[in-house]
Amino acid sequence: MNNTYYPKPEAIIFDWDGVLVESLDFIKQAFQFTLEKIQPIQEIDVNSMPSLSLRNYFPSVFGDKAKKAEDVFYDYIASQHLKVLAPTLGAGDLLRSLYDLQIPLCIISNKKGELLRKEVDYLSWTGYFRGIIGAGDCVKDKPSSVPVMHVLGPLGLAPSKSVWFIGDTSVDMECASQSGCFGVLMCEEKKYLNNKGIASDMVVFSCKDLKGKLINNKI
C-alpha cells in the first residue's frame, strides 16, 4: 500500500462513531445493557459487536426479539448520548480546515439517523456537512453502496476514487470498496500494527494525521 501521490478529493464521506466522536465505549455499554435486558439466542462478547446497523445485526443475536432489543438499545442511547458525547482529538480542527477548502463533506453512519443528526447538531457541526445519513434513512445501510449513492447524488457526484470514505472498521472499508470510493482507514497506529487485516487504500492514525495528508501537501 502506497500512502503518497493521491489527488485531493472531490468530496469526503466520514463515518461517525470512532472517527469524529469518541463514543465506542458508550455504545458497548448500551449493548451490554441490552444483552442483560433481552435474552440473546447465543453467547455474545460485548466487544464483538460489529459496526453494522442494528437491523442487520440484532436478528442474529436476539432472533424474534430483535425489534424489542433495538428499542431497548436506542432508549439507552437516547437517554444519555449527548451527556457523554465528545469529539475525537483534532476532529473539529480537521472539519473547519476542510470546510474552508470548500471540499464537500458528508457523514454515513450505522447509528440511527435521528440520533446521529442530534449529535452532529449538538456539536454545532451541522453546517460543515452537505449530507448526513444514518441507519434507516435508506432502504439499505452500510456496507451497502446505497447510502453512498444517496448522499452523493445531490452533490452531482458519482462514487469514484476521487471520493474519500473515511472509517475505522471493516464495514466502512467494505462500503468504500463496494461503491468504488477511496477507502481511508482511520486507526490508532498500535492497533493497526497489531492487526493489518482490514484492506484499505490508505491508512491514517488520527484526525491530525489525516489533516496533514490533505492540507499540508503530504499526499
What are 122-140's pLDDT values in tens digits? 999 999 999 999 999 999 9
SS3 state of residue 204: strand
Q: Is the pLDDT of residue 63 over 90?
A: yes
Q: What is the pLDDT of residue 48?
A: 76
Q: What is the pLDDT of residue 34?
A: 93
pLDDT per residue over 6-47, tens digit each? Answer: 667 999 999 999 999 998 889 999 999 999 999 888 788 888
Q: Long-range contacts for 21-25 (Cβ within 8 Å, ≥24 apart)?
A: 21/85, 21/86, 21/87, 21/88, 21/91, 21/119, 21/123, 22/86, 22/87, 22/88, 23/81, 23/84, 23/85, 23/86
Mean pLDDT of the chain: 90
The CATH architecture assigned to 11-22+86-215 reads: 3-Layer(aba) Sandwich (3.40)
pLDDT per residue over 68-92, tens digit each? Answer: 999 999 999 999 899 999 999 999 9
CATH of domain 24-84: 1.10.150
The helix (run of H) or strand (run of E) holding residue 131 is strand 129-135
Q: What is the pLDDT of residue 213?
A: 85
Of 28, 64, 61, 30, residue with least CA distance to 47: 28
SS3 state of residue 144: coil
Triad 204, 205, 209: Cα angle to 5°: 70
Domain boundaries, the chain: 11-22+86-215, 24-84
